[in-house]
A and B are shown apart, each in its own frame.
Chain A
C-alpha cells in the first residue's frame, strides 16, 4: 500500500497506463493514507466514496485505452475551490455548511482530465495567513519536525493543508492558491514543489475570492515534473473569468528538457536582507552555483522597490478583500446570526462568522478605501505596485529568470509569531513581489536547515513563461537531490 503513495504523480500515471496497478488500488491506498494522516488535520473534508467512484470510471477508461491526462490520480483540493455539492468552507465559520451548486473551473478541468478527488484541504481562513493557524477549524501540523525537538510546527500558509497532505504522502498532488506566497511558502516549509503560474493562466472562477488582482491557483506536488503535469490540466482560457488569458497553453512537461545552458539567471541584490539567516544565504549561493554548473550565467539585478512590496500588499490585498468579503451577509448562504434589524443581523453575522485576522484585514481594507484616505493609501499603493512591476521589466532586460530564497526562514512552531501580525506578514517578503507583478514563480526544495527542516529556492519568470521557470526549477531539483523525508508519513508506523 505505502509503495503506491510513495509514487510521484507522473510515475503513478505511467504505472496505471502500464497496468502495474489499478486506479482503484491507487485510490484505496490514498484513502487509507488520508485517514492515517488525520493527526495532521490537513483535510477538512474527506470524500472517499467520490474517490472510489471516480477511480472506477478511470479503470473503465484505462481498460478501453481511453485514458485522460490525469486518469486515476488522487488529489487534494484546497478548500477555497468550490466543489459541487461538496462542503466548501474557505476555512471560515461563515461558510460552514455551504455546499456550492457549481464546480470551480480549475477543479472541473482536473476532473475532466480524469483526476480523483480525495477531499478538501485545510487552509488559513479565506487564505489570509502564512502559518495555517487562522483556520476556524484548527491549525494544520507540518509533517516535519526539528531534529531533537518534538514541538509541532506550522506547514506555512495559506495552502498549509495542501502542502502537509502532499508532503505526508496523503495525496499525489494538491491544488493551492497564492495571493502573496500561499503556494510557494508552504511548499518551502513542507519540502515540496509549489508553483504559482502567471496571473491569468488559471481561471479564478469558482475560487472563493480573497484579493482578485493577486489570487492565482497553482499545483503543489513532490516534483517539478508533477507540477508541470498538473498545471497543464489546471490552465487554460475561461470566458467566465474576464482576467483569464486567452492564450494557448504550452506543453509544460515537454519544456523540461534539462538544458539551461546560456540561461541568464538574475540575482536581485535587494533580496539580501539584513538579518537573513546564514543558512538561507548559503543555500541561495549553492543554488547559484548549481545553475552555473548546469551552464547558466548568473547576473546581478536590482529590484529597488522590494522593501515596499509588503506594505503595498497590505493595502491592496485588504482593500480588495474588504470588497470581496462584503458578500458574506447572512442572506444568501452561510452563517446567519439573528439580529433585530437587517443591519444588526449583518453586523452580528460578520462579527461571529469571521475570525480575528479576517476581521482585522477587512477593517484595514475598509479604512484605506474610506473617504479621505483612498488617495493616500490605495492609490499610493497602486503607484508603488506599478514601480514594482517596472523593476521586474527592467530586470528581465538582462536576465531570463530570477533566483531567490522562497522564505526568510524554515517552518516555525505553532503559536510562534501569532501575536505579532507584522512578523507573520514578513514570511512573504520574497514571494509577494511576484503576485504584485503578476509573474510566475516556483518553489523547489533545495536543502535542509541546521535543525533538519526543508528550505526552498524560488525561480521567478517573465509573464506567461512558465516553461522557463519549470525548466530552471527542474535543474535545481536535479542538482539539489533532495531526498529527505518528513518525520510523519501517512500509514507508516
Chain B
C-alpha cells in the first residue's frame, strides 16, 4: 500500500515522535518498500489458522496479590530528568 505524507504524520503523532514536514515525504519513501515487502504475507492462506499468541505452551502463572516491593522512592527518582518534592515533574498539563 502506498503511504502518503498524511499517514506518516498520523502515525508519528500516535507514536509521539516529532516528524517535520520535510521529513514526512522522506519517511513515506522509506517505509513504502518495507510495507510492500511485508505484504507478501497476503500470498499465504491462513484461513482457519488461529493467531499465535505465545510460543510457550504454558498457562500464565498467577501470584498472590500482595505488595512485594516498594519503599524505593528515592532510587526510582534518581534517574528522573526532573523531580519535585518526591514526584516526577513534567511540563504543565492543565490549561
Contact = CB atoms under 8 A, between A and B. Distances in A.
Contacts of B92: 341-342
Nearest to B89: A331
Interface in A374-429: 377, 379-387, 389, 421-422
Interface stretch (A272-280, A357-365, A468-476): A357-365
B40 interface: yes
A239 B68 CA distance: 12
A367 B91 contact: no
Interface string A36-65: 000000000000000000000000000000
Contacts of A339: 91
A340 B41 contact: no
Question: Which DSSP category, helix, strand, loop or mixed, fits chain B's interface?
Answer: loop
Interface string B54-68: 111010110100000
Interface in A342-369: 342-348, 350-351, 354, 359-360, 362-368
A474 B22 CA distance: 54
Contacts of A348: 18
Interface string A307-349: 1100110110000001000100111111110111111111110
Interface residues on A, range: 35 or more
Contacts of B49: 383, 386-387
Interface residues of B, number: 53
B37 A245 contact: no
A243 interface: yes
B17 A347 contact: yes
Question: Which DSSP category, helix, strand, loop or mixed, fits chain A's interface?
Answer: helix
A128 to B, nearest CB: 13
Given A345-B91, A350-B15, A386-B51, 19 more contacts: A99-B78, A101-B76, A200-B56, A200-B58, A242-B60, A245-B56, A305-B44, A308-B41, A311-B40, A331-B80, A333-B79, A334-B81, A336-B81, A342-B91, A348-B18, A383-B46, A386-B50, A386-B52, A389-B52
Interface of A: 97-99, 101, 199-200, 213, 239, 242-243, 245-246, 305, 307-308, 311-312, 314-315, 322, 326, 329-336, 338-348, 350-351, 354, 359-360, 362-368, 370, 377, 379-387, 389, 421-422, 436-438, 463
